[in-house]
Amino acid sequence: MTTYVYPFSAGSMEQKDLLGGKGANLAEMTRMGLPVPPGFTITTEACRYFMHHGDIPAGLAEQIREQLIGVEESIGRRFGDPHEPLLVSVRSGAARSMPGMMETVLNVGLNDETVHGLAAMAGGDERFAMDSYRRLLQMFGRTVQDIDADLFEEVLDRQKAERGVATDVELSAADMERVVEEFKAIIRRETGADFPQDPHEQLHRSMLAVFRSWNAPRAIVFRNAERISHESGTAVNIGAMVFGNLDEDSATGVGFTRDPATGAPGIYGDFLVRAQGEDVVAGIRNTRSLPELEQVMPEVYAQLSGIMEQLEEHYRDLCDIEFTVESGTLWMLQTRVGKRTAAAAFRIAATLVEEGTISAEEALTRVSGAELTRLMFPHFAPDPGRRAIARGMNASPGAAVGPLAFTNEEAEAAQWDGTPAILVRRETNPDDLAGMIAAAGVLTARGGRTSHAAVVARGLGRTCVVGVEALEVDEADGVIRLNGEIAARRGDEISIDGTTGEVFLGAQPVEPSDVARYLSGEVTVEQAAAGEAGELVQAVHLLMGVADRVRRLRVRANADTPEDAARARDMGAEGIGLARTEHMFLGDRRPLVEALILAATPGERQVALDALLPLQRGDFLALMQEMGERPVTIRLLDPPLHEFLPDITELSVRIARAEEHEGATEHDLRLLDAVRRLHEQNPMLGLRGVRLGLSIPGLYGMQVRAILEAEALALADGGAPRVEIMIPLVSSVREVREIKQELLAVRDDVRRESGQDLTTTIGTMIELPRAALRADEIAQEAEFFSFGTNDLTQTTWGFSRDDVEAGFFFTYRDRGILLISPFESLDQFGVGELVRIGTERGRSTRPGLKVGVCGEHGGDPASIHFFHWAGLDYVSCSPFRVPVARLEAGRAALLEEEFTPQH
């Protein structure tokens, strides 16, 4: 019989996939002997079974009963006992943390009878017992029975208004009892049945609600954003309840072992006296800072800080915790390796190396390319005259500017318009996730650094300022007010600084980050270290050094101009992996290309080619000179020719207008003829790539001559260029053979004419499935391969790369068919399989064949790990992504043993 239920005392932190993160860490803390309320975890496997079968697996109910008896014995109270009832919490916990996305039900086990037992246990505190009961009714009603949460809130608000009080805490026992009765009436009215009095039924239904919440819309949105598989399911943790709201010696809080925003050492967090956990994170009551607990409960604080130290030592990383103090006794409710900002990730990793806790290599595995990208974002330019209109807490760093949006819809519309908004809310809750994803930044009036807004924004890398207490958010009127005065209206631009917590009116100018300036070679590490972000830059320097030392993948850049090439080199590119020659055919060169296309005779064609040759030679020479001894891969012309011709409609209109007056020119009429002739239904699958080279005599020959003459000039100039010529869009070795013959003839000519010993190699792009499958044959002719994963993705999936991301991709993503666009991150099982096959077959013919990738995926972290695993020699990406690629290539080398292809 499968074991679906594990007591906390039986698991460990290694079992996250089975027990979920929360369950595995509760088990680990239990093993460490820390004070964890007894409990057990229902596995993710049970959830998956439920998702597939719509029912729970055989044996689960019995296993739960058995474990419940264990909890009863260890705590000395029985579930459903009218005198001394055991109450439990039912919490979700997936393998990867999804904060606030799924459901929790607390105080399970309370009913009309046990509520009095609870009061007796609490020294006759009826108010506390009734408050606990109303919380159960509210959570059960909302979560398990899908009742509108506002119905419950309205009752509470009405009760407070009647009593003339502002907070729940001021309501009496009798008030709470009335609230309980009204809540029960809501449940009866909305569901047609009474609130279930049987504790076992409550538990069972709460568990099912947690299972179901895995597929709640907001959870799906979150997993899409975080690229978490929809298959894995959540575990459910059932633990004995402890009460942070029992009396004045009770409290609840959350904390971090270091500052998760900056990485600075020192205990960090929030707590509330006489409260339950959700009061802290919901951001409804303004919390107190954790170090203040020392004054309120000195002994508890000493114990807690000791435990936090122990946890950090044990996990060898920043940990976050949730705890509750019940009548002076401390209980640990959760821990995990804590989320942090990108800056904190780098600083903490480097500090742990300095402290001797972890090796430099391990430190590199603790940071990511996505985090490095965030550090390269700009910040506000210093301006002594600038005045903040308000200040809150710096919850997630960065500089964000955008129009004010109040709702998800507004934020999404702004993103669609290309000007991402600042989402402003009183406080956020999980339903605001879509708006937070779409926004450039998030601003809230309530909540602390551990509020929902802060935690989620940090995870998403959104700039965030929380707890601007002076701020009043009036969604109905579409305004924000400060001290009663309207400060800005819907759509007005505002700026928020997530590093300082400041809020400004208008779009404030931003400037590059110190990390970006250091990584682009603009300043040295010493210069940068003297600045504000000194420690951060030093941490980046340390970890980039490790990455460059351990990586096996070389990193090149896609660059077509000398300026791009210089930028790429400054960012650490070790060569150019793709110079697209089509960009050299635009601008004032267009008439020459037109002349080539319009040429009616070989003579006319040659005139056009002769005009292009010296220009191309100059282009190539400049690239080679910029890159010195680094390899430069130049791709022969690839795009469909109509891209160089005028738009058919515009041209037709021009001709029609001209006919009405002086008559159309001969040139325009010939152009129209060519545009019509070259028009294709699917130009991406039409006359492009090597097909152009084979169809237009002399075109590739001219380009190759220009490349080789440039190489000869560079050599004559004392340089040592390393030039690679690449043929695009091949599918058959015969295409390569034909073109190569022509190219070799030109090479012989240029060698003879220049007297230089040219070393140019000739290779192919592999960007069509047939090329990958026939790679063994193609490698007979090609001296290197470069995977064009943009076209390979397009042709493997049959998705048009120009249309898919604007069209049905969102449907696919929302339905979980795709987690992320395959044009952004490599489809490792499909397109990746072709990369693997192509590499293997190519090398079977030509051992040691150099293989790279130059599609967009070359700069995508997850894809880079795949390319390392597949044994590629290099990745090539846009210049700005080169540092990220270097970092991830280093991580890929360190993490290779754990790698398996991912969806």
In the complex, which residues of this chain contact Mg ion (CB under 5 A)? 767, 788, 791
Q: Which does 67 bind (CB under 5 to 8 A by kind): Mg ion, ligand PEP, none?
A: none
CB 439 within 8 A of CB 545: no
d(CA 319, CA 310): 10
| 403 vs 788, beta carbon nearer ligand PEP | 788
DSSP state of 556: E
Beta bridge partners of 572: none
Residue whose C-alpha is closest to residue 114's, from 72, 79, 82 = 82
Query: C-beta of 693: minimal distance to Mg ion in Å?
Result: 14
Query: C-beta of 578: minimal distance to ligand PEP in Å?
Result: 6
| 444 vs 821, beta carbon nearer ligand PEP | 821
Residue whose C-alpha is closest to residue 616's, from 523, 481, 706, 687 = 706
Q: Which does 574 bind (CB under 5 to 8 A by kind): ligand PEP, Mg ion, none?
A: none
Q: Which does 777 bind (CB under 5 to 8 A by kind): Mg ion, ligand PEP, none?
A: none
Q: Which does 594 bind (CB under 5 to 8 A by kind): ligand PEP, Mg ion, none?
A: none
Question: Phi/psi zone of residue 7: left (φ > 0), alpha (ψ -120 to 50 degrees), beta?
Answer: beta
Query: C-beta of 796: minimal distance to ligand PEP in Å?
Result: 11
| 392 vs 855, beta carbon nearer ligand PEP | 855
| 156 vs 804, beta carbon nearer Mg ion | 804
CB 771 within 8 A of CB 778: yes
CB 157 within 8 A of CB 143: no
d(CA 856, CA 863): 10
Phi and psi dihedrals of 271, rounded to 5?
-145, 165
Residue whose C-alpha is closest to residue 628's, from 724, 548, 714 = 714
618 to 63, 97, 708, 793: CA distances (angstroms): 77, 54, 11, 34
Q: CB 640: neighbour CB atoms within 10 A? A: 21
| 326 vs 767, beta carbon nearer ligand PEP | 767
End-to-end CA distance of the chain: 31
Query: C-beta of 793: minimal distance to ligand PEP in Å?
Result: 8
Query: C-beta of 520: minimal distance to ligand PEP in Å?
Result: 23
Give, in degrees to the nearest 5, the angle at Cα 472 between 468 and 475.
125
Q: Which does 902 bind (CB under 5 to 8 A by kind): ligand PEP, Mg ion, none?
A: none
Q: Which does 580 bind (CB under 5 to 8 A by kind): Mg ion, ligand PEP, none?
A: ligand PEP
d(CA 424, CA 447): 13
Query: C-beta of 839: minimal distance to ligand PEP in Å?
Result: 15
Angle between helices 602-627 and 590-598 (to 10 degrees): 140
| 631 vs 788, beta carbon nearer Mg ion | 788
DSSP state of 432: G
| 561 vs 790, beta carbon nearer ligand PEP | 790
d(CA 558, CA 568): 8
Residue whose C-alpha is closest to residue 18's, from 47, 56, 38, 39 = 47
d(CA 587, CA 462): 38
Residue whose C-alpha is closest to residue 30's, from 440, 379, 307, 309 = 307
162 to 127, 128, 165, 184, 285: CA distances (angstroms): 18, 20, 8, 20, 21
Query: C-beta of 780: minimal distance to Mg ion in Å?
Result: 22
Residue 645 burial (10 A CB sphere; 0-12, 13-18, 19+): buried
| 339 vs 554, beta carbon nearer ligand PEP | 554
Residue 500 burial (10 A CB sphere; 0-12, 13-18, 19+): middle
Query: C-beta of 801: minimal distance to ligand PEP in Å?
Result: 8
| 398 vs 855, beta carbon nearer ligand PEP | 855
Query: C-beta of 730: minimal distance to ligand PEP in Å?
Result: 12
**b/e for 709-732, b at 16 or more Cβ within 10 A?**
bbbbbbbeeebebbbbbbbbbbbe
CB 449 within 8 A of CB 396: no
Q: What is the largest CA-CA distance in the chain?
A: 105
Residues that bind ligand PEP (CB under 6 A): 578, 580, 638, 767, 788-791, 854-855
Block residue for tokens 């009116």: 505
The residue ranges of DSSP E strands in 831-884, in sequence order, are: 850-853, 874-877
Alpha-helix runs per DSSP H in 316-461? 342-354, 360-365, 369-375, 408-416, 433-438, 452-460
Catalytic sites, residue numbers: 452, 854
Look up residue 65 and give its amino acid: R
Query: C-beta of 786: minimal distance to ligand PEP in Å?
Result: 8
Q: Which does 855 bind (CB under 5 to 8 A by kind): ligand PEP, Mg ion, none?
A: ligand PEP
CB 785 within 8 A of CB 851: yes
Q: Which does 789 bind (CB under 5 to 8 A by kind): Mg ion, ligand PEP, none?
A: ligand PEP
Query: C-beta of 790: minimal distance to Mg ion in Å?
Result: 5
| 71 vs 831, beta carbon nearer ligand PEP | 831
Sheet holding 319-326, edge to edge: 288-289, 265-273, 251-258, 319-326, 329-337
Query: C-beta of 692: minimal distance to ligand PEP in Å?
Result: 13
| 484 vs 798, beta carbon nearer ligand PEP | 798
| 202 vs 581, beta carbon nearer ligand PEP | 581
CB 151 within 8 A of CB 179: no
